[in-house]
Chains A and B, each alone.
Chain A
């Protein structure tokens, strides 16, 4: 166990009992769910049970849930499906997307797709009207994430979907509206049908499920680029990870039952963190105007900056004190790691000095206070 783990946005410690049970399933219900025999049918039932559970959690039907290998694959299935038609096209994606979509868009661009980036405002939000204006008659895909993994900014997905629908109302082609909801599932109500989106990506390990498992909500059929044995309605071929899918659904359901309590706790911790930052001279949240209880942000994720001390240096010092956080910016100057903050217009002096702290279901007040004490001491001693 990592002594003080404050990097839940990177991954969540899994539910040990669910993983253990999943291992038992792996060794007992091991048959291929696509097999026709009795054993295969039993495995199939376990898989479909998981699918139904997950579908119910997000208010949809099992037929709209595809199991994948994770959030990244769910995103890339959608992004690459745009390549199965030869016609010239464009995609509209937010500039704050996770690398899973951002880097994939670079590939699309190199293959002839026009990529239109929508920048966030200074507080890290994507404006629905700006997205709508970016839509062109040939836009095949619009992608905006539900919760940004660096700043915690919760995007107005429903408003964006509405704006896109209106903008494309008279178009022959309706762009596919996709939402990377990896940082949302298990923490907030996720309602793709109510939001009016066509696709959403989910990841198990962010909410205590196993690594290598995810799901894709699909309201509209797409033509996937990868083909194979036809599993998952052909959307994601490959033998199913039955125990993984089961564990994913279990973890998701457990998170759902605790959703409100965990959210309240997260708000409490968010207040401790942000008030703590405010008490350290010159330290600040990123973006600067963020206050505790601001419902536009996920309380689980807080970015902060310590001007005059490199984020990587702060992360190193905290690591040496047994506290695990993430850097929002790297000292090596690698551009992609400051991309989101740069897109928001955060000055390099701050983005270079930023770290990200993220909490989860078992984070304690003491974890946060230890972090604040260590950060305060490190900053005082080592700032330049």
Chain B
């Protein structure tokens, strides 16, 4: 029985009046896909979504709502018949759990679109307020900074709900196009992916593996990170490219201090080819200016010159502490710090070149003849799809 109602506030996309229909369409599509296994009814009215489900699915539904970009906030809403007694009863059901959590003050916000209702908004608030104070003399009204706000809306029925929970906010997945995330096992790239998903860019992910230098555990870790991102994107495609031959050729033919730089250029080149064949619009990386010595503007100019797609670097100006904070909140931090290296230290130069001299470096790189090994790596790329899951993998350390 669809006895539980969620009220979903779609914040940012309400502002784009002209595009609202389009954005709501993306959000509805995303939600519907995530709710495939759950009996539900989704409707929209006046810039909000209403989701009806059976109470037994509450936990799963709330997981979905807390991980879907485009949702500003959501609240479980109670429905009552349009008389003050029923409304008060519903309001208590919202108030009491909040009091148990420590709320000591409240305020009421009432709206009515049914003008035939006996009380106006002010009257509703006053009557309801008294009823709640009668039931709980120890609680107080605070209209400025209440611990909890109780909302009442009189429409064809009376709807009562509390503050609810903050959502991911941002824009619905796909409303901003499709991108390719260069995903590694580090802390940054999953956060970069999350950031772009929140801005409406749907993502495929690409991981560069170097068997036998990198372990199966390193791959498993990246797969687990992608699976966590899949909870925000509603499922995600993960491409794995074997870059061993590229690494070996770079080690053989490139100057030692250029090895990381050339590797990143090859990754961009490969990403460019993948974006083209998968019809994607942008490349996303977790690069951050100055975070490691070789992440300089000059080096970025060099590496990104091997793709014609926009390279989106949402963390380029972000402090590492903030990145870590986001990683913790999206559940990827614990996974990222697992010790399975995705790049063997023997490939890394002791003194990497800091500032690539653009023209000279481009010429040198082109002479190194790396296009063929990169093309071959792209050709043998493997792809898997990680579905949306209610139980994304958590970090487990063996031994």
Which residues of A are interface residues toward B (Cβ below 8 A)? 308-310, 312-313, 316-317, 320, 331-334, 352, 378, 382, 384
Contacts and interface: CB of A to CB of B under 8 A. Distances in A.
Nearest to A333: B345
A316 B212 contact: yes
Q: Closest 5 A-B residue pairs measured CB to CB?
A: A332-B339, A384-B346, A317-B212, A316-B212, A313-B212
12 contacts: A308-B346, A310-B213, A312-B215, A313-B212, A313-B213, A313-B344, A316-B212, A332-B339, A332-B340, A378-B212, A384-B346, A384-B347
Given A312-B215, A384-B347, 19 more contacts: A309-B346, A310-B344, A310-B345, A310-B346, A313-B212, A313-B213, A313-B344, A320-B212, A331-B341, A331-B345, A332-B339, A332-B341, A333-B345, A334-B339, A378-B212, A382-B212, A382-B213, A384-B248, A384-B346
B212 A384 contact: no
B178 interface: no
Contacts of B40: none
Contacts of A384: 248, 251, 346-347
B393 to A, nearest CB: 20
Interface residues of B, number: 12
Contacts of B344: 310, 313, 331
A313 B218 CA distance: 13
A332 B221 CA distance: 15
A18 B230 CA distance: 52
Contacts of B347: 384
A334 B341 CA distance: 12
Contacts of A312: 215
A211 to B, nearest CB: 16
Interface in B301-360: 339-341, 344-347
Interface string B249-264: 0010000000000000
B234 to A, nearest CB: 34
Nearest to B244: A382
A230 B340 CA distance: 45
Contacts of A382: 212-213
Interface in B175-217: 212-213, 215
A312 B214 CA distance: 9
A317 B339 CA distance: 20
Nearest to B344: A310
A316 to B, nearest CB: 5
A384 B349 CA distance: 12
A319 to B, nearest CB: 10
A382 B213 CA distance: 9
A317 B215 CA distance: 10
**Most chain B CB neighbours (cut-off 10 Å) among A331, A332, A382:** A331
A378 B213 CA distance: 12
B348 to A, nearest CB: 11
A334 B345 CA distance: 13
Nearest to A318: B212
Most chain A CB neighbours (cut-off 10 Å) among B215, B251, B346: B346
User: Considering residues A316, A317, A352, which has the most beta carbons from chain B within 10 angstroms of its beta carbon?
Assistant: A316
Contacts of A316: 212, 215
Contacts of B341: 331-332
A347 to B, nearest CB: 14
B249 to A, nearest CB: 12
Nearest to B252: A384
B283 to A, nearest CB: 28
A317 B248 CA distance: 16
A384 B213 CA distance: 10
A331 B215 CA distance: 10
A91 to B, nearest CB: 27
User: Max chain A CB contacts within 10 Å: which of B212, B251, B344?
Assistant: B212
A309 B215 CA distance: 14
A154 to B, nearest CB: 29
A333 to B, nearest CB: 7
Residue of B213, B339, B344 with most chain A CB atoms under a 10 A cut-off: B213
Nearest to A332: B339
A382 to B, nearest CB: 6
Nearest to A331: B341
A332 B344 CA distance: 9
A308 B212 CA distance: 14
A317 B210 CA distance: 13
B338 to A, nearest CB: 10
Contacts of B248: 384
A67 B340 CA distance: 38
Contacts of B212: 313, 316-317, 320, 378, 382
A136 B101 CA distance: 61
Contacts of A320: 212
A317 B213 CA distance: 9
Contacts of B339: 332, 334
Nearest to B251: A384
Nearest to B210: A313
Nearest to A382: B212
B331 to A, nearest CB: 23
A162 to B, nearest CB: 39
A352 B251 CA distance: 18
A309 B244 CA distance: 14
A332 B342 CA distance: 10
Interface in B214-233: 215
Contacts of A309: 346
A11 to B, nearest CB: 14
B26 to A, nearest CB: 42
